[in-house]
Structure 1
Amino acid sequence: MEKYALITGASGGIGSAIAEKMVKEGYGVILHYYQNEAAVNKLASYLRSYTDNIMVVQGDLSSKEGVDHFLSTLVVPVDLLIYNGGQSLSALMMDVTDERIEEMVYLSVTALYRIAKFVLPKMIQKRTGNIIVISSIWGLEGASYEVLYSTVKGAQNTFVKALAKEVALSKIRVNGIAPGAILTNMLSDYTQEDLEMMEQEIPMGRIGKPSEIADAVAYLASDQSSYITGQILSVDGGWHT
């Protein structure tokens, strides 16, 4: 029977790398996107060279209505939920609007909770399943000028730890990955000088690749990590240890 991985934010750099990796690991994939339809369709077309079990679903996960619509489109049981994506925000805490706070909390916390709640009953029934949350080092360390982003990512990490304890006896594992600096569009606003300074701060002397996050996801989804749950794996080149 085909196993399906649901990957939110699949049109982005990390999401698309995860999707490719999971297809190569034998999963069918459900590719979620919000606005970048061209990118997700290009990804889906490429992945169909490996398997026909590719689905594309659209959804605004920053609102109740958007999540309602998204959940209504999920027509196959999800064996592996990879909650990836979200929006970074660099601003002084006092400059963030109440509307922005509500959007980011819904996107990173409420939507994660609701989607996990939706897929868990089938996992519990089958007594197998995996949930992996792509968090951030700022959810562990906190970052000045990114208080809201740090807050919601910290909430994701605690969600992982709490849910892992609740569903462990049902043979379901829940883990998180906290990437450091990764070469994606999230770094597009940085100058070359900024990137070089960042690399100097990282003990391994370089910025990470999306494929390295995908490799970590594949490990946590595999039987090789069968006794690992409730953990946040930092993939950051030693930047914050």
Structure 2
Amino acid sequence: MTVLVTGASRGIGAKIAERFATVGMNIVIHYGSSHEAANEVARTCMELGARVLTVSADLRKGEEILRMRSKLADHGLFPDILVNNAGIARYGMLSDVTEEEWDEVIDVNLKGVFLFSQIFMPYMVSQRYGRIINVSSIWGISGASCEVAYSAAKGGVNAFTKALAKELAPSGVTVNAVAPGAVHTDMMQGFSPEEIRQLEEEIPAGRLATADEISSLVYFLALPESGYITGQIISPNGGWLT
């Protein structure tokens, strides 16, 4: 079995790649520009016993993803599981968001999911088995002040997930989304220690999630025995949103 994880050079994506590596799957690590970080994740996955390939592509450009698919085919790697994890956030009032910033957030978080799914799902359909798992966000469900573009993009990912699940269900391919609450990753670096403490006080569980906890849920959705779960937006958020 082969799993392709986008944005796997750090954070949740890296932990997802490492989780699948523990069971000996072939791992394809996609990254944008963080070459050395991706190689470090690859080394960890190989130490866990996995066969690993790292590939770089601008996920906003279909031609680059098509070249990436050709490279994978040259190595005999055809993803049975696609984890659309790559994402970026921009913080600020909507009145201060530029058109370029809006386009970048929508393109990376939503267009990338569209392109990767469209390009890699035909193989899954042809073998009548596959898993597409989109990493969304709690803000795609509830919205977040000062993160309108990000919330809109993740809300689009959630709707995309539900719609594509209906298209692919007859072909044995499931499509689900994991929409975490606050997670200890690099994306939290913009928050001060006081802001982190305030977040933790708002969360009934009293803490932020770990990337390992999110990767475990992604792994569960990829299992063969999870084949009746599709079109779902599952939000591990410590009771923050119910």
TM range (shorter): over 0.9
Matched residue, 2:2: 4
Deviation at 1:19, TM superposition (A): 0.5
Matched residue, 2:205: 204
The SS at the match of 2:175 is: strand
CA distance in 2, matches of 1:171, 1:36: 34
After TM superposition, the structure 1 stretch with the greater mean CA deviation from structure 2, 41-50 or 144-153, is 41-50
Deviation at 1:67, TM superposition (A): 4.0
CA distance in 1, matches of 2:225, 2:50: 27
Matched residue, 2:127: 126
Which of 34, 37, 54 is residue 36 of structure 1 equivalent to? 34
Q: How does 1:29-68 map to 2 (within 5 A)?
A: 29-64=27-62, 66-68=64-66
Asked whether the 8 Å contact 1:202–1:237 carries over to 2, the reply is yes
Asked whether the 8 Å contact 1:128–1:170 carries over to 2, the reply is yes
Structure-1-length-normalised TM-score: 0.94
Asked whether the 8 Å contact 1:33–1:58 carries over to 2, the reply is yes
Structure-2-length-normalised TM-score: 0.94
Is it true that 1:17 corresponds to 2:15 in the alignment?
yes
Asked whether the 8 Å contact 2:66–2:119 carries over to 1, the reply is no
Deviation at 1:32, TM superposition (A): 0.6
Please tell me the residue identity of whatever aligns with 1:118. I
Unpaired runs of 5+ residues, structure 1, are none
Asked whether the 8 Å contact 2:144–2:151 carries over to 1, the reply is yes
The SS at the match of 1:164 is: helix
Matched residue, 1:193: 194
Identity fraction in percent: 39
The SS at the match of 2:91 is: coil
Deviation at 1:93, TM superposition (A): 1.1
Deviation at 1:73, TM superposition (A): 3.3
After TM superposition, the structure 1 stretch with the greater mean CA deviation from structure 2, 60-69 or 193-202, is 60-69
Which digits, 9 at most, give the CA deviation of each residue in 1:144-169, with x for residues without a partner?
Answer: 11000000000000010000000101
Asked whether the 8 Å contact 2:109–2:153 carries over to 1, the reply is yes
Asked whether the 8 Å contact 2:2–2:78 carries over to 1, the reply is yes
Is it true that 1:111 corresponds to 2:117 in the alignment?
no
Matched residue, 1:136: 137
Matched residue, 2:89: 88
Asked whether the 8 Å contact 1:203–1:239 carries over to 2, the reply is yes
Asked whether the 8 Å contact 1:67–1:111 carries over to 2, the reply is no
The SS at the match of 2:29 is: strand
Matched residue, 1:77: 78
The SS at the match of 2:47 is: coil
Deviation at 1:96, TM superposition (A): 1.3
After TM superposition, the structure 1 stretch with the greater mean CA deviation from structure 2, 221-230 or 79-88, is 221-230
The SS at the match of 1:200 is: helix
Count of residue pairs brought into register by the alignment: 239
Asked whether the 8 Å contact 1:131–1:174 carries over to 2, the reply is yes
Matched residue, 1:234: 235
Which digits, 9 at most, give the CA deviation of each residue in 1:165-224, with x for residues without a partner?
Answer: 001010000000001100001111211111111100000001100000000001101133
Which digits, 9 at most, give the CA deviation of each residue in 1:92-120, with x for residues without a partner?
Answer: 11211111222222212222111111111
Which digits, 9 at most, give the CA deviation of each residue in 1:38-58, with x for residues without a partner?
Answer: 211111112112335100001
Asked whether the 8 Å contact 1:63–1:106 carries over to 2, the reply is no
Please tell me the residue identity of whatever aligns with 1:49. E
